[in-house]
C-alpha cells in the first residue's frame, strides 16, 4: 500500500485537506486514514453545527482570515452539493452594563475582519428578532449560519475519491507507529502497514500524541474539555428563532452557553465547558487513566485551573445540575422552565494548552521533514476547514515540492 501522501485524521479538516489536494493534483495517490468506523466522529460530528462569522478573532490572525474565507467557501460548497445549511444570522445579547465595553470591542473586531451587515441593535430590535430574549443591547450578525458538518465531511471525501480511483479511505485504521527511511514513511496501523512519501496530520484530540510518534518534540499538550448540551422540548421550540449568544466573558476562554437552531429543526442550549477525564469521552462518568495522567501531570493544566478557579467550579456544578444550567439559560430567556429543557448530547474540544495555561493560541500548523502537522485547530476550524485545506495545499507545494 504505497501512496504519495497519507492524511491522518478523518474529521472535517482532514477531509478538506484530502479534497483540496486531490482536486488540485488529481494524479496524486492519496490515502485518508481514520481510526473510527465513521468520518467526523469526534469534534466535527459533535460540535454545535454553527457557521461562524469571524466575530471574535483577532484581526490578522489565522483564525480570523481562514474563518471569513472558509465560511464563504463552505456555504458555496453546501449549495453546490445539497448539504443542509442556512445562513440565518445570530444575535449577540448584552444583559447588563458591564458587558457593553466588550460588546463594542467585538463589533470593532467584526468590522476589521470584514463581516458584512454587522450592526448594533437596541433592546426593541433584539425582541423583533428573538421575542423571548431580554437584553439591553446587542449585535446582529447576518453572516452566521448553521450546517450539517458531518454531511459536508462525507461529501468532501466522496468527491476526492471520485477524482482518483487509486486514492483510498481507510476506516478503523488506528496509527500505532511511524518509521522513516530516505524516501518513504511507514505507517503501522492496527490492520496494515502503509507507505507514503509525505504525511499530513489532522488528528484533533490526538494531535500531540501523533506529533510525538512522528518525532516532534512538542512542549504543549492537548487537554480535552467536554461540553454538555440541553435541548428545548417541543413545547418550547417557539422561544428561539435562530441563534442567540451572550457577550462572552473576556476572562474565560469559552464563549458561554448559547441557543442554536440545528439543521434538523432541534434547538440546542449549551455547551458548558468542563475538564474531561477522557479525551474522547462524551459521558460525565467516562474515564481514561492515560488521558487523566497526561493532563494532570502537565503544569499547563494546573495553571489553567488556578487562573479560572471560580469559572471551573461553576461549570462543574452546572454540569451536574439541571437547575443551575436552566438558571444560566434564563439570563437570556427569562421565562424558560424546567419542562422546557431536556438533556442532550455532548462534545469534547481539543485545546493545545501552553505551559503557562494559555488556551488562546491561534491555529497552529507546522512543517517538519516530510510531514505537516495541524497541531491546534479549535473552533472555528470546521467553518474554516476549506480555507485551512487551501493553506495546507500551499504548505505542501512549498515543502513537498509538488
- Please report the pLDDT score of residue 314 as a whole number: 87
Q: Distance (Å, rounded) from C-alpha 299 to C-alpha 355?
A: 6
Q: Distance (Å, rounded) from C-alpha 336 to C-alpha 159?
A: 44
Q: Kindly give the residue spans of alpha helices, DSSP state H, lying in 81-197.
A: 100-112, 123-129, 149-163
Percent of the chain with pLDDT over 70: 100
**What is the per-residue pLDDT across 220-236, written as a single tens digit (0 to 9) for each?**
999 999 999 999 999 99
Phi, psi of 303 (to 5 degrees): -60, -40
Q: What's the rounded mean pLDDT across residues 141-145?
A: 97
Q: What's the rounded mean pLDDT across residues 187-216?
A: 97
Q: What's the rounded mean pLDDT across residues 33-42?
A: 98
Q: Distance (Å, rounded) from C-alpha 59 to C-alpha 366?
A: 21
String of DSSP letters for 283-344? STT---HHHHHHHHTSHHHHHHHHHTHHHHHHHHHHHT-HHHHHHHHTTTSTT--GGGEEEE
Q: Which residue has the cell 444560566?
A: 328
Instruction: Give the chain's domains with CATH numbers.
Output: 2-45+150-220+361-400 (3.50.50.60), 222-240+264-353 (no CATH)
Are the C-beta atoms of 150 and 39 separated by less than 8 Å? yes
* pLDDT higher than threshold 70 for residue 28: yes
- What radius of gyration do the chain's Cα atoms show? 21
Phi, psi of 205 (to 5 degrees): -65, -20
- Please report the pLDDT score of residue 254 as a whole number: 72
Q: Report the 10 Å Cβ neighbour count for 203.
A: 29
The predicted model scores a pTM of 0.96
Average pLDDT along the chain: 95
**What is the per-residue pLDDT across 172-187, written as a single tens digit (0 to 9) for each?**
999 999 999 888 999 9
Judge if the upstream peptide bond of residue 214 is cis by omega within 30 degrees of 0. no
Q: Distance (Å, rounded) from C-alpha 23 to C-alpha 162?
A: 10
* pLDDT higher than threshold 70 for residue 387: yes
The residues facing 91 across adjacent strands are: 140, 244
The residues facing 189 across adjacent strands are: 175
* pLDDT higher than threshold 90 for residue 105: yes
Phi, psi of 119 (to 5 degrees): -155, 155
Dihedral over alpha carbons 124, 126, 131, 134 (to 10 degrees): -90
* pLDDT higher than threshold 70 for residue 45: yes
Q: What's the rounded mean pLDDT across residues 85-106?
A: 96
Q: Distance (Å, rounded) from C-alpha 179 to C-alpha 35?
A: 19
Chain-centroid distance, C-alpha 204: 9
Are the C-beta atoms of 363 and 62 separated by less than 8 Å? yes
What band does 253 get if pLDDT is binned at 50, 70 and 90?
low
Percent of the chain with pLDDT over 90: 90
CB-count exposure of residue 206 (10 Å: 0-12, 13-18, 19+)? buried
Provide the total of helices (H) and of strands (E) in the chain, helices listed first: 11, 20
- Please report the pLDDT score of residue 59 as a whole number: 94
Q: Distance (Å, rounded) from C-alpha 229 to C-alpha 344?
A: 5
- Please report the pLDDT score of residue 1 as a whole number: 82
Q: Distance (Å, rounded) from C-alpha 271 to C-alpha 16?
A: 26
* pLDDT higher than threshold 80 for residue 141: yes
Element (H, E) at 169: strand 168-170
**What is the per-residue pLDDT across 315-359, written as a single tens digit (0 to 9) for each?**
888 889 999 999 999 999 999 999 999 999 999 999 999 999 988
Amino acid at each position: 500500500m504505497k501512496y504519495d501522501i497519507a492524511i491522518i485524521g478523518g474529521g472535517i479538516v482532514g477531509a478538506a485537506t484530502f479534497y483540496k489536494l486531490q482536486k488540485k493534483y488529481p494524479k496524486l495517490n492519496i490515502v485518508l486514514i481514520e481510526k473510527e468506523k465513521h468520518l467526523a466522529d469526534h469534534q466535527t460530528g459533535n460540535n454545535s453545527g454553527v457557521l461562524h462569522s469571524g466575530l471574535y478573532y483577532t484581526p490578522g490572525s489565522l483564525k480570523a482570515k481562514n474563518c471569513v474565507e472558509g465560511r464563504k467557501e463552505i456555504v458555496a460548497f453546501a449549495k453546490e452539493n445539497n448539504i443542509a445549511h442556512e445562513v440565518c444570522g445570530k444575535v449577540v445579547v448584552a444583559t447588563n452594563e458591564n458587558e457593553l465595553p466588550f460588546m463594542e470591542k467585538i463589533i470593532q473586531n467584526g468590522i476589521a475582519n470584514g463581516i458584512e451587515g454587522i450592526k448594533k441593535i437596541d433592546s426593541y430590535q433584539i425582541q423583533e428578532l428573538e421575542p423571548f430574549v431580554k437584553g439591553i443591547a446587542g449585535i446582529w450578525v447576518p453572516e452566521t449560519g448553521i450546517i450539517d458538518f458531518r454531511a459536508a465531511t462525507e461529501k468532501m471525501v466522496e468527491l476526492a475519491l471520485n477524482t482518483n480511483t487509486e486514492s483510498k479511505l481507510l476506516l478503523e485504521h488506528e496509527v500505532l507507529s511511524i518509521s522513516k527511511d530516505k524516501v518513504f514513511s511507514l505507517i503501522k496501523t492496527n490492520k496494515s502497514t502503509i507507505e507514503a512519501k509525505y504525511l499530513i496530520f489532522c488528528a484533533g484530540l490526538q494531535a500531540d500524541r501523533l506529533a510525538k510518534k512522528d518525532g516532534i518534540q512538542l512542549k504543549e499538550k492537548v487537554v480535552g474539555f467536554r461540553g454538555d448540551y440541553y435541548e428545548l422540548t417541543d413545547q418550547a421550540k417557539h422561544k428561539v428563532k435562530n441563534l442567540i449568544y451572550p457577550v462572552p466573558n473576556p476572562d474565560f476562554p469559552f464563549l458561554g452557553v448559547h441557543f442554536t437552531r440545528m439543521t434538523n429543526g432541534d434547538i440546542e442550549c449549551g455547551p458548558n465547558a468542563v475538564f474531561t477525564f477522557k479525551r474522547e469521552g462524551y459521558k460525565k462518568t467516562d474515564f481514561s487513566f492515560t488521558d487523566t495522567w497526561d493532563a494532570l501531570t502537565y503544569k499547563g493544566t494546573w495553571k489553567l485551573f488556578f487562573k479560572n478557579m471560580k469559572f471551573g467550579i461553576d461549570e462543574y456544578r452546572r454540569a451536574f445540575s439541571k437547575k443551575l444550567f436552566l438558571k444560566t439559560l434564563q439570563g437570556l430567556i427569562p421565562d424558560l422552565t424546567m419542562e422546557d429543557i431536556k438533556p442532550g448530547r455532548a462534545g469534547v474540544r481539543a485545546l493545545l494548552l501552553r505551559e503557562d495555561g494559555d488556551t488562546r493560541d491561534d491555529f497552529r500548523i507546522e512543517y517538519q521533514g516530510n510531514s505537516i502537522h495541524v497541531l491546534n485547530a479549535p473552533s472555528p476550524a470546521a467553518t474554516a476547514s476549506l480555507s485551512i485545506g487551501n493553506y495546507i495545499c500551499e504548505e505542501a507545494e512549498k515543502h513537498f515540492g509538488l
